[in-house]
Every structure is written in structure tokens, then in C-alpha cells.
Structure 1
């Protein structure tokens, strides 16, 4: 594969590779012209065109904190077969952000808010893949966890992860159901429809590994990007931050204020943040991932994550009881 990539880069991009190595799920290419990464998009050439278009639009608007997809000598944003395209991007030098460090968080919030400022009224020449409204996905996740919980209850030989989930699984199911009683469906549907109408693009995967800190702060991996209200990115970020900070309400408010300093949140957005924070999304996601997507969610990593919910359950429960009044 490396040899084929080397030949393709020389032929289509004029990049003479000195060394190619595996890099996470990508290839890292060292050349006299610089360092690049090559990424594959199996059966997703439409996603390549969407990201290329989105990046062009963002650059026109003045946002540059990402790695653009390079075009070949022939003007194409990809090489290889249409059923299995590859893209070339400049390598970004930086360390993965840690949400447990507030100085890192502040930089992440700043670049996210800047992205949101520029990722609006995007052109219509290329459109992203349709993404179902977040509440539909969360309701399905609640149902899937309920099914998993029943399977674990019936399981005769259980491992450590099974036992951890069963210890607090029933409470988490109750929390998930309660959250849907609190979430203002009309309000979230309305502002999400506005996001679609005005072509607001959310990143939709604001995990810490998608932010690199170096001389600049970089955002990477826009594979899930699409039309959605920006506050869902903020909610997703806060969800992950809360686990790292043991559901410290003061940190929630500090993150919210920091984002608000860059980009004002409306009263509706602030309420949506609180209502959605009642839903134990990270718990459900990690549990389901360990059983149904073991290639991505390794059990040895999921177990300590789930243990944190049990060990800090009182803090989590207290956070849920106080968040709507904060």
C-alpha cells in the first residue's frame, strides 16, 4: 500500500515521498516539500466532496484552523478508485488536547466558537449528508441500552464490565427517560430547523482527540459535520468535560461563560444545554460501543470510564438535580 501511495502522490500531486509510515488510521508522508497525511474514505467519495467544499467555504470566510484537502494536478480532491478514494492533507503539528486541563479547554472552546462563527450561511453548491435530529438518535440510544441491560441481566457468566453496568444501569435508564420529559422538543426542533435553513454547520464530533494544540489550535476530523444547531457541539463538549471534572457544576458554568465570551448564547441555547445535560449520553455511548463496536471502543478503556460513573455517582446525581436551576 505504501508503495502504491508513493507512486500516486508523485504522479498526481508532484509529491516525492521519502518515507511513508502508518499514523493512527492514516499514513504519514515525509517529503522534501513537507509532511502530509493520507486518509482513505471507503465508499464515501461524496463525503470527500462535502469536506472539500466546506473547507473552501470556511477559508473564504476567514477560518483556517484545519488541514485543507489538497487537489491533484488534475483538480481532483481525491485519488484512487471512486469506491475507495484517498485524500492528501498537510500534516498538523500539535498535541492532543486534554479536557482535564482548563488551559487546554479554553483554547478548545476558543477555536470551536470561532468555527461556529464562520460555519454559517455556507454555500449550497455541495450539501452534507442528512443527519437525523439529535433527539431521535438519543432516544434510540436509550432503547438500545435498555435492550443491552436486559441481556446482561440474563447473562450467567459476567465479566467486570457487565457487573459495573448492572450496578447503576437501572438508575441510568431512569435518568434517560426523565431527561426526555424535561427536554423541550419544540424548542430544539425549531432552532435545529433554523440551523438547516441558514446552513449552520456543526462539527458533531468534538472529542478531545479532534483538537490539536501547537503554535495554533487546530480542529480535525470533520467526517460527521453537517447542518445542525451549533449548541449541540457545545453540549457534546460539556458532556465529555463533565466526566473529566466529576460533574463539577462550577466547571459547567465556567465552560459556558468561556464560550459565551467568544460567541453569545441565547436563552434558548442555555436552556437546551441544561436540559440535554440531564441525559447520560456518555455512559450509554461507551457501554453500547464496548458491546457493539469493539473495534473502536476497547473494553479495557471503557471499564475505567464506566467505573467513574459509579464511583462518583453522588456527584453526578447532585449535578443533575442542580443543573436546571443553575
Structure 2
């Protein structure tokens, strides 16, 4: 993991550096006055994000840490003293959902042009997830016993669920909608795992880790977050209702977005993502944690299917 030079850090932060140590794939830096997190990022993305960050703050979005940059490949943010967000704590989740909605509302029709590269939009990401999962199922006999047995028992059912949802998404059509959202410069975070939320000691919620952010269909963020919340809370209808009420306090979903969301929630993204991560031994996926999560999703499949059918009539 690349480490920033001490002289560069001191120049950017205008402070003496006392210690630099690895911290969650980044660097934690202690200076005379406070702690900072240093991230090594792609220069093209960094130039784009600095402009987007500036625009969001001008519009009033303050639930992200102030940033500093070396103008090249290093991004610095103050260290947040607090805890990682959890999608099982209702009080925190309500704040997170409201914050996401504000982020989306203020992050539409931004002036900053998109990065001139392939966008990998929501529709493409779903198709890619389905294809990756299919490839995992093709080599299921080569996997280790616990994951192999789980996928032999449930993999085909989840793949067919995903395929059916994808066909419905194509008919809506999701691809055209994703392209339209990109043309409208609709900002999407695109990685709303609970660890990308922080709750500080005062109870304030912060959205962090924007390296995946791009102009894309914002309903993808809604889907990502609500899917994880529902899995965490065993597909409780009450939690789904709470999410939508909190979100629409700040940003109303269009009727088309609600239709897209109803179909997206029938796509077993969480099961596929975790299974692919384990099968391909991706960084951050460990059998000890992911396998129980997969079993939990499989055990709730009938409840999830029933809930998905109800949402079809939105």
C-alpha cells in the first residue's frame, strides 16, 4: 500500500506529522492539532471530485468531511471520532436515509462535467453481477465445502430470481433511464454499505468514501441501501415503510423510480454479491462473516419473495 511522503503531508495539512499508520486500506495521520485520513486515489477522479465536493457544499450539503488535496493523487479528510454506522439501529438509520435524500436532491444537475470515460451505469452493473454469479455457479463443484453446499442448495433459485428481475428491468427500460440520469448529472454514491456511514460522538451522521461516486441513476443508491437494511431486519415491512417516509421528506421519488425500485428489490443482489466475493476470494470477504449472512438471506427467501410480489403493484 502506497504511503504519502511526510513532507507532502505536512505541506498540505500545514502541520507537523507525528505518526502515520495503516488504517482500513488508508493511512491515519496524527498531526499537531488533529488526526487525518489519507487516501490514495486516481488523479482524474480526484480532480472531478474536488469540483463536485465544492458544488455540493455551495448548495448546502454538509454531511461529509471537509477535504484537502495535494492536487495529484492524495485526498485528506479529518478523522471522525465515533462509530461505523449500523443498519439495525433505527435512530441512526433514519438519519442516514434523510442524509442520503438530501445528498441526492442537492446532487442533481450539477455544473461539473462527468469524467470522460465509460460510466458503468446501474443497468450495466446489474447485468455484470448476474453474469458473475452465473460464472460462479458454473464452477460450484470446485469451491470449498461450506460455500459449495450452500450454492448447490440455493444458487440456482437465486440466479433464476435475478434473471427474471433483469428481464423486467430491461422492459421498463432501465438502461435508457440510467443514461438519462447521467445526462442530467445526477450524483450517485454507488457503495452504500453500512461501513460508509459514520456516527460521531454527538450522534451526527456522516457519509464517507466517495471513490465510487459518479453520475448515475440515484434509485440505485436507494436500492442498495434499502436492500441491506431489509436483509439486516429480516425483510420487515415496517422498515421499508420507514425508509420511504424518511427519504421522501427530502426528495420525492417519481412513479417511474418507484416502479424501478419494486423490480430492483426482486433482484437478489446481496446474495449474489457475497457469494461472488467468497468464491473469487475478494478482499474484505471472509467465510466467517459472509457465510452466516448468506444463510440468513436464504432463510428469508420466502419472506423476501412475498414482499417483492406486493411491491410489484406500486
> What TM-score do the two structures reach when normalised by structure 2?
0.91
Q: Shift of the alpha carbon at 1:48? A: 1.3
> More displaced, 249-258 or 200-209?
249-258
Structure 2 CA distance for partners of 1:125 and 1:187, relative to 1, 3 Å: closer
* Preserved CA contact (<8 Å) 1:128 1:225: no
> More displaced, 250-259 or 48-57?
250-259
Q: 1:6 maps to what in 2?
A: 6
Q: 2:71 maps to what in 1?
A: 77
Q: 2:34 maps to what in 1?
A: 34
Structure 2 CA distance for partners of 1:251 and 1:13, relative to 1, 3 Å: closer
Q: 1:164 maps to what in 2?
A: 150
Q: 1:81 maps to what in 2?
A: none
For 2:144 and 2:39, how far apart are their aligned partners in 1? Answer: 39
Unpaired runs of 5+ in structure 1? 79-84
For 1:219 and 1:129, how far apart are their aligned partners in 2? Answer: 25
Cα shift readout 1:100-126 (whole Å, capped 9, x = no counterpart): 121111010011011111111212356
Q: Is 1:209–2:199 an aligned residue pair?
A: no
Within the candidate set 51, 54, 60, 1:53 is matched to: 51
Matched residue SS, 1:66 = coil
Alignment of 1:179-258 (within 5 A): 179-183=165-169, 185-214=171-200, 215=202, 216-258=204-246
Matched residue SS, 1:19 = strand
For 2:116 and 2:77, how far apart are their aligned partners in 1? Answer: 20
* Preserved CA contact (<8 Å) 1:53 1:126: no
* Preserved CA contact (<8 Å) 1:210 1:219: yes
Aligned residues: 312
Matched residue SS, 1:115 = helix
Structure 2 CA distance for partners of 1:195 and 1:313, relative to 1, 3 Å: closer
Q: Shift of the alpha carbon at 1:293? A: 4.2
Q: Shift of the alpha carbon at 1:12? A: 4.5
Matched residue SS, 1:183 = helix
For 1:325 and 1:86, how far apart are their aligned partners in 2? Answer: 47
> More displaced, 30-39 or 269-278?
30-39
* Preserved CA contact (<8 Å) 2:10 2:17: yes
Cα shift readout 1:107-146 (whole Å, capped 9, x = no counterpart): 1001101111111121235637532232222123212212
Structure 2 CA distance for partners of 1:115 and 1:12, relative to 1, 3 Å: closer
Alignment of 1:125-136 (within 5 A): 127=115, 129-136=117-124
Aligned CA RMSD, in angstroms, stands at: 2.2
* Preserved CA contact (<8 Å) 1:109 1:259: yes
* Preserved CA contact (<8 Å) 1:202 1:225: yes
Matched residue SS, 2:68 = coil
Q: Shift of the alpha carbon at 1:189? A: 3.3
* Preserved CA contact (<8 Å) 1:26 1:40: yes
Structure 2 CA distance for partners of 1:3 and 1:312, relative to 1, 3 Å: closer
Matched residue SS, 1:308 = helix
Within the candidate set 61, 64, 84, 2:62 is matched to: 64
For 1:168 and 1:222, how far apart are their aligned partners in 2? Answer: 34
Cα shift readout 1:240-284 (whole Å, capped 9, x = no counterpart): 111101122332222112211221111111111101111101111
